[in-house]
Structures are given as structure tokens and as C-alpha cells.
Structure 1
């Protein structure tokens, strides 16, 4: 588990590919890898990776399977790229952000960037199917950083986060411009609640749909009902 509080910016020192697998050697900031062991977990831009080799005191290698490369942004990275890193939380650690699994749900893209006085606003375009899990004032993890959602626009499929100077200092977000890809992990308790409510509504409304469609058909509204309830079937 991770806390969503990025502990530093690391650099991809080397990338090696073999069939179905990519190995990243990552150089960490000073002191980050103290006590790090083979088998330990590190979140790299929000993706939970396992240490496979240690290189002195400030670097380690990680093997990444093809499925992870397909789902996340790691498949696009090049040598020299900087990434957010966080070590796995210890028992009893303070959760400064919100609990993260390091299992990225999808990759999104930066739709626009606004720079205001002491604030940096990222507008992020997301696929429609993920919007039900995103709420203003709710949590989301972006490249491993726990952030609060400022606004969600369902019609245009985007949400915004506002970043303070300290967040920019400790992360790679200032490097992200329109079109940049980002790893998104939705907040798990929100997902559970939304999915549970959806299932309950489906079970409750499904037997009533034929009668509702008949009533609305008489009033010319059956098409609207089918659109609204299409996901219940």
C-alpha cells in the first residue's frame, strides 16, 4: 500500500527489453533507497513495481510485464525521463493522502494547463466510463500523487486538479503539458460505493422497465428511458 504522498523525483537510467518484459533501472534521489531490499515495492508514477536488482545505494531495477506496459504510461517512457516515486507504506505510517494500491486503472491525457498565481491547474480528459467514480472534493491518484478533484465536467469528460507550489516542487507535474499521458487510480472506496449502488438499482429497476417503457411510449419518451437505463441491462 502507498499513501499518495510522492517522496521524490527519480530518473530512468536504463531500459532493456526482452520478449514480453521491460526492465527499468531507476536512479533515485539521495537517501530514497536507504534500506531498500530486493522484493520491496516502489510506486513509479503510481505503478506498483517490485525491486528485482539493487545497484549500489541509489538505484534499482524493476521488471514490468507487457500487460502493465499496455495499461499504464510506462510503455511510452524513454531513458532520462523523470518519474514520481514513493516507497511502500510501513505499518502505522501516517496516511497524508489516501490509501493507494499502485494498480493503475487507466491512462488519461492532459487536456489543458492553466498557470495562476501560486496555483497550477491541470484539466484531464478521461474516458466516459470512469466519470461516475470522479466527484468534486473527492480523491484521485495521478501518477501516484493523491490529489483532490476541484471540478468535474461530465458532458465534456474532464476533471481538474489544482496544484500548490510544494506539490510542483516534489513531483513531475510541472513538466506535463497538453497531450501528456498520466496514470490514474480511482479511489477504491468510491468505486465500491458506486458499483454497489449501480447493482442495487439494476436489481430494483430491471423488473419495472417493461411497464415504464410502455408508459413512456405513450408519452413519446421510451427512447430517453432506454438511453438512461441502457447500462442496467
Structure 2
């Protein structure tokens, strides 16, 4: 379980594709010395398991399954790409974002990313298959960031990004036309399921 509050950004050291998936190695800096094997880390919002780490080198490795590559944008990462990182929530931690499982539902295209005075307007495609799960002023996890929907249209969601969020996440490395991971609110998904079953 995560909160969508990015702790640090890492950089892709390598992404090696192989039969059955891929192996992702990230430069995570001092975080590497705090990790343990089998620990969960949200990487651009996708819950991944630490399969290796090197505190001296500041790296951590994760194995990506075929399903992970199919559902997320992680397979499009390049050497040097910025990745949002968040370690799992501990009991007693403050919940500054919202409950995030790290189970990416789909990807979406970045439609607008531009500076407006001191802030940034960030507009992302809203896939129609998931449109019923979002509301104006509701929360959604975008590339591991808990964001509030400031403007909701039929085919898009707009967020306003503060200078702090822009500085400490991968947003500065994103561009219009790029893809981001989306995870919709888990309570909304459970409610939709119950309604569809007529319970």
C-alpha cells in the first residue's frame, strides 16, 4: 500500500528485456542502503519487488513480468529516464495523498504540460473504459503521484502542479505525447464491481 507521495526520483541505469519480461535497474541513491530483498517499491506508480540492491553503488533492481510490461509504460523507459519512487506505507505514517495499491490500471497520453505563471497545467487523456471511476476534485494516481482532478472533461483530466511537486517528481522529464501510468481509486472500483453484480 502506498500514498502517491513521491519520496525521491531514480534514474534508469538499464532495462534489459528477456524471455518472460525484463529486468529494470535504477539508480536510487541513499535509498538503496535502506532497502531489503522482497520489499515493495512503487516505480512510476507500479508496485515492484526489490530483487537486488547495492548500497555502495546506490542501485536497486526489479523484475518486470510480461503483464507488467503490457499494462504499464515501464517498458518504454530509456537509460537516464526519471522514475518516481515511493516505499510502502508503514502503520502510523501520515497519509498525505490517498490509498494507492501500486496496481496500474492502464496508461494514458500526456496532452498538455505547460507552465502557467509559477505552476504547471498538466492534462492527461481519460480512457473511456475508466471514465466512470473519476470525479471532479477526486484523487487519481498518475505515474505514482496522488493528484487532484481540477478539471474533468469527457476525454481528459487536468491537474494543477505546484512548483514543489514539479521539482521533486519526474514531471520535468515528461513531454506532450508521452505515456503515464494511471491507477484509479480502489474504493470506486469496488463500488463499480458491486453495482455491476447487483449486490
**Same fold flag (TM > 0.5):** yes
Aligned 1:134-153 pairs, distance under 5 A:
134-153=134-153
Which entry has the higher C-alpha Rg, 1 or 2? 1
Q: Distance in 2 between matches of 1:37 and 1:47?
A: 18
Q: Distance in 1 between matches of 2:80 and 2:64?
A: 17
Q: Distance in 1 between matches of 2:15 and 2:173?
A: 21
Equivalent residue for 1:50? 49
Higher strand share: 2
Q: CA deviation at 1:192?
A: 2.2
Equivalent residue for 2:88? 88
Q: Distance in 1 between matches of 2:119 and 2:63?
A: 36
Higher helix share: 1
Q: CA deviation at 1:134?
A: 1.2
8 Å CA contact 2:114–2:120 kept in 1: the answer is yes
> How does the TM-score come out when normalised to structure 2?
0.94
Aligned 1:67-216 pairs, distance under 5 A:
67-154=67-154, 157-200=155-198
How many residues align? The count is 198
8 Å CA contact 1:125–1:158 kept in 2: the answer is yes
8 Å CA contact 1:135–1:151 kept in 2: the answer is no
Ranges in structure 2 where 5+ consecutive residues have no aligned partner: none
Q: Distance in 2 between matches of 1:136 and 1:34?
A: 40
Q: Output the aligned Cα RMSD.
A: 1.5
Q: Distance in 1 between matches of 2:8 and 2:38?
A: 20
Q: Specify the SS of the correspondent of 1:14.
A: strand
**Superimposed CA distance per residue, residues 139-173 of structure 1 (whole angstroms, 9 cap, x where no aligned partner):** 0000011110111111xx11111100010111011
Q: Specify the SS of the correspondent of 2:6.
A: coil
Equivalent residue for 1:40? 39
8 Å CA contact 2:2–2:102 kept in 1: the answer is yes
Q: Greater relative contact order (Cα 8 A, min sep 6): structure 1 or 2?
A: 2
